[in-house]
Structure 1
Amino acid sequence: MNLTDVSNGLDTIWVILTAAMILLMEGGFALLEAGFVRQKNAVSIIMKVFVDITFGALIFYFFGFALMYGVDNFGLFGSSGFMMHGNLGHLVTNISHDTYWLFQCAFVIAVISIVSGAVAERIHFRAYILYTIAMTGLIYPIAGHWIWATGGWLYNLGMIDFAGSAVIHALGGFSALAAAMFIGPRIGKFNEDGSANIVPPSNLPLASVGAFILWFGWFGFNSGSTLSATNGSIGHIAVTTMLAASAGGAVCILFTMFRYHKADPPMVINGALAGLVGITAGCAFVSDNAAILIGAVCGVSMVFATEFLESRKIDDPVGAFPVHGISGSIGTLAVGLFAQKDLASVAGKGYYGLFYGGGWSLLGVQALGLVTVCIWGFALTWLFLKLINTFTNVRVSRDEELIGLDVGIHGVPAYSQEHGFIDLKHIKRD
């Protein structure tokens, strides 16, 4: 066995372990969203996460991966590698195609989980399954091809998105915004005068544990994107990831104390997540201090974005759009400002940002790619939900929503009752 074999073996172990860390983030999504919604909808959250993992993995295997990483066609989509067969020889990596698929599969599952939270407590389970197929089989793979696949038109322009602030988070966030707008707010969320009612989270400690699991998994998300156990930038990536998340959370503690006269727990939780989302694109390319600034800006912006949605009567129960859509956009653009040539070279890119002598070129490419991906996610999500709604209701009935999706859709509560039985006969279903 030579050194190359040893290196490739280490890389394979590294990528599989970090893929497992990313898959563990689904547990984080489940706990976070279940803690943010009411008790009567906790099972519904868990079931949607199982849809993300099961349907997401299968659809990405059958044709999503091929559209994303198959042989390029006009810079727009791939056309080989369906069910991992056919021409994938252009994927020159130090790991096997199977290993690479597993890592990318973990990413696609995360994308659909972003949308899940924005439509919590009111989307019909059947409709969610169909939308999951659309997102994991078409919407995300094509956008990913543009930026990450060799030959993709944004890849050729030089767009940098190391671990997915644009491809995963901005795309998922703007898709979540479209879904929340399409399906409408929860019953009782807004009053006739436009004012919003607070829907108290059912379990903030549970949501906090979910956030910590997501935070842990993010080290796999970002550091694992090196695809190599011997890459010299792994340590730096981990540090910028930690600093950005800490800055996002710390700023939200201070900002909400100033703005609301108390530290707001849901905002603080989402502030740390916003920092993680913001650093994802540039974790390998920006300095430690820039990471702190990016995380802080994302944290504050998330608070304002949450308030803006409520002012527009858009109901996003877990803050999917403020956390992922806004912070993903900030992080994508930040690369065009703060990328440093020496760090970028270590990570395999030679570009650097406006503040480091790179001019406006990279920032322009980042902005073009960001706008394109956001429009793509929003428009295709709206289109597919409209299509799905023609043959099955996207939204549950009023009775099902009032009694809760756990009992109304799945026939079982999250928490067993000591006395009494559940009578489902009188629930009106669509």
Structure 2
Amino acid sequence: MDTVFLMNSLWVMISAVLVILMIGGFILLETGSTRMKNAGHIAGKTILTFGISSIVFWAVGYGLIFGEGNSILGFSDFFYSGYDVEGLGLSGAVFFLFQLAFAGISLTIAFGGFAERAKLSVYLVFALLFSILVYPFIAHWIWGGGWLAEHGKQDFAGSTVVHLTGAMAALAATILLKPRIGKFNKDGSANNIEGHNQVFTALSVLLLWVGWFGFNAGSTVSVDGAFFGFVALNTNLAAAAGTVAAMLISWIVLGKADVPMMLNGALAGLVAITASCAFVDTWASVVIGLIAGILVFYSIRFFESRKIDDPIFALSVHGTAGVWGTLSTGLFATPELATVGNPGLFYGGGFEQLGVQALGVVASGAFAFIVSFIILSIMKVTMKGLRVTEEEEIIGLDISEHGSYGYPELVNKEAAAEVSMDVTSKSNPPLSSQQPSVN
């Protein structure tokens, strides 16, 4: 067997594993960014829904994206059997696993908008429908030879296909589910519902950062010329720039270097460079990351001012940064690297590529939002609501949906302490309520 074929297959298999391990990063990100009483639920539903998306991708998703069809959708290769594709240059089964991982990541991003208030049954049904009716359409349009690909849309590893798609589904969910109890006051001001573990969120960002080398560099699907090294370099520079920019802007505006904002800046830089990592020079990757870090800071504040409760900031990190990253290739793509489409505005390409990128953002974002909103609206009626009851939300989804806590010892200790305080307060009322002493 050809050595290059084997090397390509090995490289993409390693990359697929890195991308799948990003699911672990998202588990830590979501659990760390939310409250302890929902930690077990969030971790468990993430694994379960990735399992659902994997089965759906095998049955129909891959065929809808890469099967023979028209400019809208593919209509062949369902129930993928592991065959090799002529001219692909690597194992067909490995390529399938790599693409499956991307579909799972997009779904995981979407579920960020459901956090701490959606029923488990809603996750299960939406995982199935999103994996059939939302993600495959956009992936086919851009990566499967669809109509946006015919226009030369540049999206090397998924700022639009994966991140914007997931974010728009998350937006539909946050609107229909409405804010968590206690997030907003009657006057419209927001309360900061802090996540329970910043160490988890920091570790999650590191895991995602490393996994992104599989995400972006693996999308070369080839070892030829070791171009994956250049893509990885651009990826790292953008993430670093996003980290620094978000930290500085939060320090300037808030007077403190906000840790969650710094971590979101790193992710925003990674999301933004995902579209352009193979099309731009290194200096441009730094600029793209810096702008992403600043944008995510103001985007988070914007959505909160509109009373949109986004617990893990999926709309800003994956949506706003995804839009910026997609548009950035229309500005910075070089003539030498623009193997798809045309050079960007700053390299003499005019507004043509920027227009194509904007068209892709509008069409893909609108489709993902509208279809997700329709799906969830129908589910809301047929499933007697998307949201758990107020009582269930207050006690936490670990208990209400699964019957056990993710942190049983810690939560039980807190509950015991509350009971003890309650008993003490009843047996020893405050001095103002006691009978006056007689001397």
For residue 223 of structure 1, the aligned residue among 206, 217, 224 is: 217
Residue of structure 2 aligned with 1:142, choices 129, 137, 145: 137
Q: What pairs with 1:341-420 in structure 2 (closer than 5 Å)? A: 341-344=335-338, 348-349=339-340, 351-392=342-383, 393-417=385-409
Counterpart residue type for residue 358 of structure 2: A
Q: Would you say 1:159 and 2:153 are equivalent positions? A: yes
2:341 and 2:197 mapped to 1: Cα distance? 46
1:40 to 37, 40, 59: 37
CA distance in 1, matches of 2:77, 2:84: 6
Does structure 1 retain, via aligned residues, the 8 Å contact 2:268–2:296? Answer: yes
Alignment equivalent of 1:302, drawn from 290, 296, 300: 296
Letter in 2 for 1:409: E
Secondary structure in structure 2 of the residue aligned to 1:198: coil
The alignment's C-alpha RMSD in Å is 1.8
Q: 1:400, 1:408 within 8 Å by CA — same for their partners in 2? A: yes
- Work out whether residues 153 and 360 of structure 2, in 8 Å CA contact, stay in contact via their aligned partners in 1: yes
Which residue matches 1:95? 90
TM value normalised by structure 1? 0.93
* Structure-to-structure mapping, 1:261-340, within 5 angstroms: 261-340=255-334
Distance 1:380 1:138 in 2: 8
- The residue number in structure 2 matching 1:118 is 113
TM-score, normalised via structure 2 length: 0.91
Rounded Cα–Cα distance in structure 2 between residues aligned with 1:55 and 1:297: 36
**1:17 aligns with one of 8, 14, 27:** 14
Q: Partner residue of 1:28?
A: 25
Shift of 1:343: 2.1
Greater Rg over alpha carbons, structure: 2
Distance 1:64 1:88, change over 3 A: farther
Q: Tell me the alpha carbon deviations over residues 337-380 of structure 1, each in whole angstroms, 9 at most, x when there is no partner.
A: 10001123xxx436211110111111111110110000011111
**TM-superposed deviation, 1:245:** 0.4
Separation (CA, whole Å) in 2 of partners of 1:410 and 1:115 = 22
How much has 1:420 moved relative to structure 2? 7.7
Query: Cα offset for 1:174?
Result: 1.5
- 1:130-161 alpha-carbon deviations (Å, 9 max, x no partner): 111111222001110001112x0000111110
When residues 255 and 95 of structure 1 are mapped into structure 2, their CA distance, relative to the original with a 3 A threshold, is: same
Match of 1:78 in 2: 74
Q: Deviations over 1:218-248 (max 9, x none)?
A: 0000000000122442111111101100000
Q: Which residue of 2 aligns with 1:129?
A: 124
Query: Is contact 1:191-1:197 (8 Å) kept?
Result: yes
Runs of 4+ in 1 over 6 A off after TM superposition: none
Number of residues paired by the alignment? 414
1: distance between equivalents of 2:243 and 2:311?
A: 19
Match status 1:175 vs 2:172: no
Q: State the secondary structure of the residue aligned to 1:122.
A: coil
Q: CA deviation at 1:421?
A: 12
Q: Which amino acid aligns with 1:382?
A: F
Gaps of 5+ in 1: 423-430
Shift of 1:85: 5.1
1:62 corresponds in structure 2 to: 59
Amino acid at match of 1:294: I
Q: Percent identity?
A: 42
Report the Cα distance in structure 1 between the residues aligned to 2:279 and 2:414, rounded to whole angstroms: 58
